[in-house]
Structure 1
C-alpha cells in the first residue's frame, strides 16, 4: 500500500495538485531513488547482523513508525511553493529507507523458512497478498485525491495504512515461522553477491526487467490521463492490472515447479511483450483495449514478482545470511526505479505537458510502451544466455 503511491501516483499528484514542474519532479525522483539505491546493500548487511544478534524486532518497529510518518508527510505536505520539491525529496528518502528495511527483512525471512518448494510457495503468497495491498492503493488514493474534502479523506487513508502496517508487523513477529539458521549463519559482505557467478548472471537481466517495469509505472498516470484520456478510470486500470497479477501467481508457481523458475520467468517476459507492445498504438477513448492490455500485462507481472526472488534464494549458500544478498537485489531494482524517474524529465524535454493531451506528439506512447518492450526483450536475451552458460558449466 506504500510502494504504489510513492512510485506511481505521487508524481502526478504533485504535478496536478500542487503545480510542481514535471522536470523538477523527474530530477527529485531520480535523486531520492538514487540515495535509496546506494544504501540498500548496507541495509541488507545491517539487517543480517541484527538478526544474528536477535535485535531485529525493535528496528522493524521503528522502521514502521518512520514509514507511517513519511507516508503521511508525502500525501499531506504542510508546505507550498518552491520548497515543495525539497519536501517531496525528503519524504521520499525517509519513506524509501524505512520501506527498504522492512522489505529486505521480509524477503530474507522468506528465503530461510524451509525447502525450495516451501520458499516458492511462500513467495507466491507473499507477492499475492502484496498485490492485494497494491490493488487497494490503486483505487483509493486516486479516488480520494479527487474529492472535495480530499485532505480529510487522505487523512483517513493514511490512518488506515498505519493500522494495517502495524497489524501486519505484529503478526509477522508473533506468528511467522522462525528465521532458520540465524544464530550460526555467516554474515557476508555485500560484495559476495557480485563474486558468485550464479548470482551475478541474474543481476543484469533482473535490472533490465525491473527497468522495463519501472518506466511504465512512472508514466502510467500521465498515459491514462493524457493518452487514453480516462482519468476517472485510472483506479480501475491499475486495480485490474495488479489483480490480474495476483490471479496469475498460482499458475506461475505451478509452471516454475515443472520447468524451473528461470524458464517460467522467460515465458512471463514473452507474454509481457506480446501484451504491452500494443499500448503504443492506443489513443483517446481506447478504454476497453487498454483494459485488456492491463489484464494480460498484469498476468505477466506475476512472473516478475514471484520468480526472480526464488532464483536468488536458490543461489544463496545455505550457511550464509540472506539479507545481504537481498540488499544487493534491492539495489538493482531501486537503480531501475531511479533511472525511470528521468523519463519524466525526458518527456518534458520532448515537449509533453501534463494536462495537455496533444503535447509531445508520440513521446508519451513511445516512452511508456515501446521503450519498455525493447528493454524487456534485452532482459530475455541476457537471461537466456545466462541459462545456457549455467547448462554448459554443469556439463
Structure 2
C-alpha cells in the first residue's frame, strides 16, 4: 500500500479546488436565476444561451485534456504557468459575466454568451490540469480517494462561501474573495507534490480517443453520466423551487445551500472509511441509494415547509460527499489499470469533464424551456405550474438516480474494474 498522504501535501494540492468552486456554483446555480430575475431574460432564451455555451464547453474539454498531457510532457512548471494565465482570464471573464456593460436583450444575450465561452474555457483548462495532476500522483484505492477528497473538500468550502457571500455581502465581495483565493490556491499548487516524470512518447490527435478503447472507462462513464444528469437537474432548479414551491422568506437560500454543502464536506471522512471497508464502487452505490431515500421526500413539500426542506438538504449533502470523492478516484484507478498513468490522464479527464458539462447543458437547455412550455414561469403561483416544477425538481432526478444505481450494480459490481497497480506518490516539490 502506498504511504499515506501528509495533510500538508494534501492541502497544498487540494486548495485550488476552493476558488474553482466559486466558478461552479455561480455558473451552474446562481447565473440562471440572476439573469432571469435581474435582467428579465426569458427562460427559453436563457436556456438556449446556457445550452450553446455548455455544449461548446463540453466539446472543448477533450482537446483541453490532450493539451494538458502535452504540458505534462514538457514539465510541471509548464502546467503551472499555463494555469496562471487561465486563472487571470477566468477572474476577468466571471466578473464581466455578472456585471454586463450592455443594455437591451439582444446585446445582453450576446454579452452573456461571449463571457460564458471565455470563462468556461479558462475554467476547464485549469480544472482539467488540476485533476490530471492529482491522478498522476497514483496510489491504491484509498490513497486515490484521499487525494480526490482534499480537492473536493476544498471545493465544498468554496461552494459554501459562494452560496452565502452574494446574499450576505453582495456579488462584488464574492468575486473579490474568489480572486484572492484563486491566487492563494495557485501559490499552494506550486508547493504540492509533483507527479513522477514519465518518458516522452509520440502523441497525436488519435490519442484523444484512446480512453474509449478501454471497456472499463466506457462502463464507468455510462454510470457517471446517468448519475450526473440526476444531480444537474435539481442544481439548475433549486432556487426556483425554494422561492416558488416553498415560498421561503427572502434570504433563506444561503441557509439551504450551506446546509447541503457543509454536510457534504463533513461526510467525506465517513466515505473514506466506507471505501476502506467496502471499496470505491460499493461505497458509491450506497451514496446513490441514500440520495434517493432522502431526496424523494422533497416531492411532498409545499408552501412553508422550509424546516423539512432544510433537513432534506442536510441529509442529501451526505450523499453528495460520495458523488464528489469517489467517482474521480475510480477514474484514476481505470487510468492506472489501463497502463496509461503518467501519459494520458488529461485525455481521460477531458472526456470525463465533457460528460459533466453535457449533463449540465442538457439540464439547463432542456429543463428550462420544457418548464416554460408546460406552464411554469418564475414567480408563478398556479397549481399546475408548481406541480410541474415539483416533478422536474424532485421526481425526475430520483428516477434517474435509481437508473444510475442499477447501472453501477450491473456494469461495475458484476464486472469489476481491473485491479490497478499501486504506484507511490510522485516526487516532492
TM-score of the superposed pair, with normalisation by structure 2: 0.86
* 2:320 counterpart residue number: 301
Could you say what secondary structure the match of 2:104 adopts? coil
Q: Quick check: 1:233 aligned with 2:233?
A: no
How far is the alpha carbon of 1:182 from its aligned partner?
A: 4.1
How far is the alpha carbon of 1:334 from its aligned partner?
A: 0.7
How far is the alpha carbon of 1:190 from its aligned partner?
A: 2.4
Q: Deviations over 1:92-113 (max 9, x none)?
A: 2211111111111111111112
Q: Quick check: 1:66 aligned with 2:89?
A: yes
- Show structure 1 runs of 5+ residues with no match: 145-152
> Cα 1:143–1:343, aligned 2, differ >3 Å: closer, same or farther?
farther
Q: 2:113 aligns with which of 89, 96, 115?
A: 89
Give yes or no for contact 1:112–1:181 (8 Å, CA) kept in 2.
Answer: no
Q: Deviations over 1:10-53 (max 9, x none)?
A: 11111111111111111111111000010101100001101111
Could you say what secondary structure the match of 2:101 adopts? coil
Q: Quick check: 1:334 aligned with 2:357?
A: yes
**Partners in 2 of 1:219 and 1:182 — Cα distance?**
44
Give yes or no for contact 2:271–2:322 (8 Å, CA) kept in 1.
Answer: yes
The count of aligned residue pairs is: 385
**Partners in 2 of 1:184 and 1:118 — Cα distance?**
26
Q: 1:369 aligns with which of 368, 388, 394?
A: 394
Q: Deviations over 1:47-68 (max 9, x none)?
A: 1101111222221111101110
How far is the alpha carbon of 1:181 from its aligned partner?
A: 3.1
**Partners in 2 of 1:319 and 1:393 — Cα distance?**
18
How far is the alpha carbon of 1:207 from its aligned partner?
A: 0.3
Give yes or no for contact 2:380–2:386 (8 Å, CA) kept in 1.
Answer: no
* 2:53 counterpart residue number: 32
Q: Pairwise mapping of residues 105-120 of structure 1 onto structure 2 (< 5 A)?
A: 105-116=129-140, 117-120=142-145
**Partners in 2 of 1:321 and 1:101 — Cα distance?**
15
> Cα 1:140–1:312, aligned 2, differ >3 Å: closer, same or farther?
same
Give yes or no for contact 1:280–1:369 (8 Å, CA) kept in 2.
Answer: yes
Q: Quick check: 1:165 aligned with 2:186?
A: no
Over aligned residues, Cα RMSD in angstroms?
1.7
Q: Quick check: 1:98 aligned with 2:116?
A: no
How far is the alpha carbon of 1:391 from its aligned partner?
A: 4.5
How far is the alpha carbon of 1:115 from its aligned partner?
A: 1.3
**Partners in 1 of 2:387 and 2:202 — Cα distance?**
52
